[in-house]
Amino acid sequence: MKQTLLLKVNPQKPDIEKVRVAADIIRKGGLVAFPTETVYGLGADAMNPKAVLALFEAKKRPLDNPPIIHVENANDVYRLAKQVPPKAERLMKEFWPGPLTLVFKRSETVPDVTVAGLDTIAIRMPRHAVALALIRESNRPIAAPSANLAGKPSPTSAKHVFDDLNGRIDAILDSGPTHIGVESTVLDLSVDPPLVLRPGGTPLEALRKILGDVKLHPFVVAEKELSIEKARSPGMRHKHYAPNAEVIVVEGAIPAVLAKVKELAESYRLKGAKVGVLATDETAAAYRAVVVKSLGSRFNLEVVAQNLFSLLREFDAEGIDVIIAEGVPTEGLGLAVMNRLRKASGYNIVKAE
Ligand code: TXA
Ligand code: MG
């Protein structure tokens, strides 16, 4: 067990002394969790293979799933990537700093373990003053997967990080809850048209405005388990976002969803399970008999995304056995929300009609 240092830092005006303490840890090969605009990341020096190995170990993450490399300046991309296509430059100008990760051909200077032996590298510039200050003060790119134990929902608060990783990492920079709540969008530009490997904080609609044609990888919209040979992103092969509870997603038009959720909740209750319903503001009042949590309004998918992971963790903390979740529309951030929910359910999806 390590002693995990907790450092509270103002999200807008980070206390530079505290950021320097954290940056020192990174430079010495240690592990620091820090906030980004999406979720908390667990950072290590991307150019130090030992530090990156320790990162995989702390998260219990399989070595074949590489982390995203975080930079504080778009120019750093030219040192980490072999080629930067014009489309990438347009996207960097438009969306960085922000929740968009771009996949490039990688430069040989990046250690193999950092990219899990792939010939590509995933890079993003986060839109968060603390993350940017930490990278700047560390003076090197920071490899940072989400700061959860592998397979658990991503952390949207320092408390989530603490619950998963206390004693396993050196420090946590705590700047309160994250703003977006789902991870960055991962876009592969090595193919034409560009391919979304993971929907996230940058909506597909926004990418299409800039690029025209953008395709979704079949995994992104999968409603069932696909064969792993089709995976283009290593992360697609691994179980993700899953709380301890069993998750069932009910999709369809509202009245049918309401009836189906009620029916399922009742049948699990009769079997003796502790049932939780993940609802929305428009429907929550209809489910009186069980533990009900609302993601927010179905018409405000930004708020739904913000609340998703923390509510999944709350159900676990309350000892819920089965979570019955309503589907939400797959537009804007809803696409990322549904991708996470479907994965969390292990594709246990019920179509209500
Ligand atoms: O918002 C985010 O992206 C957060 C914050 C901390 O920045 N990070 C994050 O990292 O979600 P992680 O490691 O949990 O997810 C990284 C995803 C994985 O699905 C991984 O497989 C994929 O990016 N990835 C990494 N390198 C890749 C590559 N070279 N090609 C394709 N996918 C890659
Ligand atoms: Mg993750």
Q: How far is the CA of 151 from the centre of ligand 2 (A)?
A: 8
The span from the first CA to the last CA of the chain, in angstroms, equals 51
Binding site membership of 66 for ligand 1 (Cβ less than 6 Å): yes
When pLDDT is averaged across residues 336-349 and rounded to a whole number, the result is 95
CA distance 135 to 353: 50
Q: Is the pTM of this model over 0.85?
A: yes
Q: How far is the CA of 353 from the centre of ligand 2 (A)?
A: 33
Q: From atom 17 of ligand 1, which residue's Cα is the shortest distance away?
A: 235
Least confident interval from 28-32, 91-95, 185-189, 222-226: 222-226
The residues whose Cβ lies within 5 A of ligand 2, an ion, are 146
pLDDT tens sequence across 229-285: 666 677 776 666 778 899 999 999 999 999 999 999 999 999 999 999 999 999 999
pLDDT bracket for residue 221 (50, 70, 90): confident
Which ligand sits nearest to residue 123's alpha carbon?
A: 1
Q: How far is the CA of 67 from the centre of ligand 1 (A)?
A: 5
Which ligand sits nearest to residue 220's alpha carbon?
A: 1
From residue 119, give the alpha-carbon distance in Å to each of 43, 79, 106, 237, 342. 22, 15, 6, 18, 29
| Those residues with Cβ within 8 angstroms of residue 88's Cβ, 6 or more apart along the chain or in another chain | 77, 102, 104, 189
pLDDT bracket for residue 65 (50, 70, 90): very high
Q: Which two tokens stand for residue 316?
A: 């676990």
Omega into 193 within 30° of 0, i.e. cis? yes
Q: How far is the CA of 143 from the centre of ligand 1 (A)?
A: 10
Dihedral angle of Cα 203, 206, 207, 210, to the nearest 10 degrees:
-170
Angle between helices 334-344 and 301-317 (to 10 degrees): 20
Angle between helices 16-27 and 129-138 (to 10 degrees): 50
By most ligand atoms within 8 Å of CB, the mutation choice from 233, 238, 339 for ligand 1 is: 233
| pLDDT at residue 155, rounded to an integer | 98
| Those residues with Cβ within 8 angstroms of residue 46's Cβ, 6 or more apart along the chain or in another chain | 52, 67, 69, 80, 110, 111, 114, 140, 141, 142, 143
Binding site membership of 84 for ligand 1 (Cβ less than 6 Å): no
Binding site membership of 307 for ligand 1 (Cβ less than 6 Å): no
| Those residues with Cβ within 8 angstroms of residue 90's Cβ, 6 or more apart along the chain or in another chain | 210, 211
- Locate the ligand 1 atom nearest the alpha carbon of residue 42 and give its number: 6
By most ligand atoms within 8 Å of CB, the mutation choice from 72, 80, 101 for ligand 1 is: 101
Using an 8 Å Cβ cutoff, are 190 and 25 in contact?
no
